[in-house]
Amino acid sequence: MELFQFRHSAFCEKVRLVLAAKAVSYDVNEVVPGLGQWELFRLSGQRQVPLLRDGNELIADSSAIALYLEARFPEPALLPPDPAQRAQVLLLEDWADTALASGARMALLQGVAEDPLLRAALLPDATPAVLRNLVGAVPADLLGGVSQFLRPERQHLLAALEQLTSLLSVQPYLVGDRPSLADLAVAAQLYLLKFPAAAGLELAARGVAGIADQAQFEPLFAWRDGLYRTLQRPLQSSTGLG
């Protein structure tokens, strides 16, 4: 298996978490923004990461990849057999990939604009193009006025994080009594708000000011860190693409 990725993409982190949960080992192919994405396009007909290669199979999109891996490696199951729980997991996954992802990207943009230390820690690994991808197509000259621009979306994100924190203070997982795709999808987006140890020494425990350093969200990030500890990350090797 080979994962074409950007290291600091939350959607790539989601796939890495699914692979870890399934204890599947794989090669990492770090895609160079721009040129590398052309090669990706030649290979798969689309230019986004994550892209998973399994022999002759190429699967794009983190949700499609998760379903593919669930079918290929059924144990441990990340989708509950119970239809109602399964529906809840898939709805939460979709929410994490859309509303939460958008809020987290915007908050990271704001964090990076306001915090030179975070910017310095993120930049050695993430070229400006990757950073732009992480934070969406926001022109650089908007960075200065970013706080004003993002206020409603930020409030929305903070409210969602409060709900997640209170839900996970009364139950160990979002749905049912074992980790599911919902937990992994949410944890993957939290990556952008407070980097886990897996993000590397420079970034570990850094994150968006006003979120990563807030006592009220500590239990949420502690839950995320606990989830990472329960997933045994398989050994990875890098191949590097163009």
Ligand X SMILES: N[C@@H](CCC(=O)N[C@@H](CS)C(=O)NCC(=O)O)C(=O)O
Nearer to ligand X, 10 or 175 (CB): 10
Using the rule CB under 6 A, is 29 a contact of ligand X? no
Q: Is 37 in the site for ligand X (CB under 6 A)?
A: yes
Site for ligand X in 89-108 (CB under 6 A): 97
Chain centroid to Cα 68, Å, comes to 18
Instruction: Say whether residue 50 binds ligand X (CB under 6 A).
Output: yes
Is 8 one of the binding residues for ligand X (CB under 6 A)? no
70 binds ligand X (CB under 6 A): no
Q: Minimum distance from CB of 207 to ligand X (Å)?
A: 17
- Of 4, 22, 62, 189, which lies in the binding site for ligand X, with binding defined by CB under 6 A? 62
CB of 148 to ligand X, least distance (A): 25
Q: Does 5 bind ligand X (CB under 6 A)?
A: no
For position 6 contacting ligand X by CB under 6 A, the verdict is yes
Q: How many residues bind ligand X (CB under 6 A)?
A: 13
Measured from the CB atom, is 50 or 111 closer to ligand X? Answer: 50
Near ligand X by CB under 6 A: residue from 1, 2, 7, 63: 63
**Interface contacts to ligand X, rule CB under 6 A:** 6, 9, 11, 37, 47-50, 61-63, 97, 133
